Amino acid sequence: MSVTVHREGLEAGRLDIFVDGAFAFTLTLLAIGGAEIPKDVDRMVHLLCDVPAAAACFAQMARFWHGHVQWRTHCTRATRTGLLLSLLLVFFALIVVYPLHMVYASLFNVLSGGYLSSDFGLHSAAEVKSLFAIFGFSYFCMSGTLAWLFRHAAQVASVHGEDDFVPRLRAVLWLIPAGVGALSAIVALSLPNDAPGWTFALPGLVYSLLIGMGWISRRMRARAGRPD
């Protein structure tokens, strides 16, 4: 093993440890109750009502983190672009965690008739629009950064004569949630404050478009003659 390869391996490893630690920190922000210790059973039950929202947020943040893990499997070399984009991903993760929790908390609050996540609620059309706009833009930034990372991985693979199909495929797949997040934000901002109440669910329903990602992946693999 050459000195350069060894040094790049160390740099890549230190970056991954930093990214993993940063995502772990964002997940601690989702802990129910924060630093508050319940002093009675009623308060404990009240805090536990926020578990569904916290679980949904955990799953979403874990998905973003796993995206970075997958990127590293296709870009084992330490590059300046990979470093900057990974740090950008961490920066966006620290921003998205709160709007992410607010979106899921409001969702479970509405679906449960106010029983779940009862400490959080949206009280006006302007609040709904602002929340979905912030969340959509944050979602766009996170997904777009991952798409950019995989595009970079494909470029590095191509330069070194390696197979770049999978990173190119993943770059396209991450562009889908980026576009969906941007579309949701645009829909939210375009709604007038006096629109019918049901229309304020549209920014959230836009995310149902993500269901088509699996079909797109299979189609791209089939066209390239690649097995799933």
The residues spanned by each domain of the chain are: 3-223
Mean pLDDT of the chain: 83
> How many angstroms from the chain centroid is the CA of residue 114?
26
> How many angstroms from the chain centroid is the CA of residue 49?
23
pLDDT at 155: 92
Mean pLDDT of the region 171-178: 93
Mean pLDDT of the region 135-157: 93
pLDDT surpasses 60 at 35: no
pLDDT at 112: 80
DSSP letter at 36 equals P
pLDDT at 4: 47
Residue 23 · residue 4 · CB < 8 Å: no
Quote the strand ranges of 57-186, DSSP E.
none
pLDDT surpasses 70 at 152: yes
pLDDT at 27: 79
Question: Please, which pLDDT band fits residue 181 given cuts at 50, 70 and 90?
Answer: very high
pLDDT surpasses 70 at 107: yes
Give 217 or 22, the one with higher predicted confidence.
22
Sorted by sequence, the CB contacts under 8 Å of residue 194 that are 6+ apart come out as 125
> How many angstroms from the chain centroid is the CA of residue 37?
29
Out of 28-37, 78-87, 135-144, least confident range: 28-37
pLDDT at 147: 96
pLDDT at 223: 79
Mean pLDDT of the region 197-207: 82
The 10s digit of each residue's pLDDT in 41-69 is: 777 777 778 888 888 888 999 999 999 99
Q: Which two tokens stand for residue 142?
A: 């996170």
Q: How many CB atoms are closer than 10 A to CB 190?
A: 12
pLDDT surpasses 80 at 210: yes
Mean pLDDT of the region 150-163: 89
